[in-house]
Amino acid sequence: MNEVEKTGHLIEKPGHVMFNPDAWQFDDPVVFWVTVTVVFCLSMLTVLFFWVRKNMAEDRKNKEGGAGS
């Protein structure tokens, strides 16, 4: 069912398109690569955050007389 049939009018409510499955066609390369870009960026920041935290914890352990000190 397309947007016109679902809503009965052409003008959508603001913001609605984000949650409209018709807009998220992943076989469309535009939508696919847009999603990849945003998800990768968010993932990268998240991974870097946890990686830095892990390094901080290891470094602290080493300095407090743990392994390798």
Partner 1 sequence: MSAVAEKDEYNYDIVKFCVIVGIMMGVVGTALGVWIASELAFPFMNMDIAQMQFGRLRPVHTNTVIFGFGGFLLYGAGFYMVQHATHARVAFEKIAWAAVYLWLIAMFCIWVTLPMGMTQSKEYHEPEWWIDLIMATSWVCMTISFLGTIAHRKMSHIYVGLWFFMTMLFMVTYIFVFNGLCIPVDFTFSYSAYAGIHDAMTQWWWGHNAVGFFLTAGFIGVMYYFVPKHANRPIYSYRLSVLHFWSLTFLYVWVGAHHLHYTAIPDWTLSLGAGMSIALIFPSWGGMINGMMTMSGAWDKIRTDPIMRFMVVALAFYGMSTFEGPLMGTKSVNALSHYTDWTIGHVHSGALGWNAMIAIGAMYHMITRMWNTEMWSAKLVNTHFWVHLTGAIFYITAMWGSGVLQGLMWRAFDEYGNLVYTFADSVAAMHPFYALRATGGFLVFCGFCIMLFNTLKTISAVKAGTNVMLTAEARA
Q: What is the dihedral of CA 15, 17, 21, 22, to 10 degrees?
A: 170
Q: 22: which DSSP letter? A: G
Q: What is the phi/psi pair of residue 44, to 5°? A: -60, -45
User: Residue 26: what residue type?
Assistant: F
Cβ at position 67, least distance to partner 1 in Å: 14
Binding interface with partner 1 (CB under 8 A): 2-4, 10-12, 14-15, 17-18, 22-23, 29-34, 36-38, 40-41, 44-45, 48-49, 52, 55-56, 58-60, 63
Cβ at position 48, least distance to partner 1 in Å: 5
Cβ at position 41, least distance to partner 1 in Å: 5
